[in-house]
Amino acid sequence: MYIMSLRTLCNNLRQLAVTNRQLCITHPGHGTNGFMSKLLLPATTTHCCGSNLGAGKQHDGSEVRQFHTTAAMERSKFIPFGRTGKQKYTVRPLPMVRYAGRDLDTGRIIHKRLGGGHKQRYRMLDYFREPPADDKVYEERVLDIQYDPNRSARIALVAGGNHKRYIIATVNMKAGDIIKTSGQVSRLSVTANEGDAYRLAALPIGQLVHGIPKYPGDHGRFCRAAGTSGQIVRKIGGMVVIQLPSKRQISVSDQCMVTIGRVSNEDHNKRVIGKAGRNRWLGIRPKSGLWHRKDGRHGRKIKPLPPIQVFMDKKQEGVHINV
């Protein structure tokens, strides 16, 4: 408990140092064996905030050390894109705040299996594949296929017009490909290429899609992990039934925009960890070494599939379609 209280104190002091550049603390004594002195940032002895003490001295003769904020601590204030909606989109990898399974305010562990791991940077992904307002075909060129440490799938850097963005890459997508985004719906089903985005009403039955939204105008929410895809099962009265990788079926509006093909890195579930250290690289801490009784909670269970979940368009209130 004594060591944990010191760790919590140091975490709180570091958070205060980010917001107050002139925070002063007393130099730790010899009773802590240098534990706190290792965690403190190096600083020079200065006057204490708002005091008339001598240079670097208190009444009891102990030194006063000042907290200095570094460039890394300033960058750690970044809030991921989309949480507040105030950040501008950029393709530049951004630093992330990693709380290592601890509460932001108290510093206490709230998730025992998180902590450590290699440094990562956040890439802003654009999950919206909406067509232009005039329903013209919008073309983009794939510049590069990149690895993203924050997700299991590969990401593609695409450019169209005067801007760039990241999207989820498909299995056969490669640099130099031209992908299309179209909102046009013709009488005949289209023959789309992998990576193109169309409305569900324009696609044939049996087509594999990913990035499936719940409502028209929403961003892709289903089938975004590596190797996943949904399959169009049937169309009924302006609604399309799609079967997910879990065999569960959902029903969404045929005006939803989806991406053609299967998500890249389909062999992600076949990877071999190989050693305990690789999980630590990924930021996964080991389980407790205590013996736990096997109570059969994880045994095999045969359960019927749930009924089809219908996501009705919010604009069509009072309309119900039986699927």
Backbone angles phi, psi at 303, to 5 degrees: -120, 145
Query: Which residues make beta-bridge pairs with 288?
Result: none
Q: Which two tokens stand for residue 274?
A: 């190989």
pLDDT of residue 13 exceeding 50: yes
pLDDT tens-digit profile of 21-30? 443 433 444 4
Do 181 and 137 touch, CB atoms closer than 8 A?
A: yes
Q: How many angstroms from the chain centroid is the CA of residue 39?
A: 29
Do 142 and 155 touch, CB atoms closer than 8 A?
A: no
Q: What is the pLDDT of residue 136?
A: 83
pLDDT tens-digit profile of 111-134? 989 888 898 999 989 898 888 877
pLDDT tens-digit profile of 195-253? 999 999 999 999 999 999 999 888 899 999 999 999 999 998 889 999 999 999 999 99
Q: What DSSP state is assigned to residue 132?
A: P
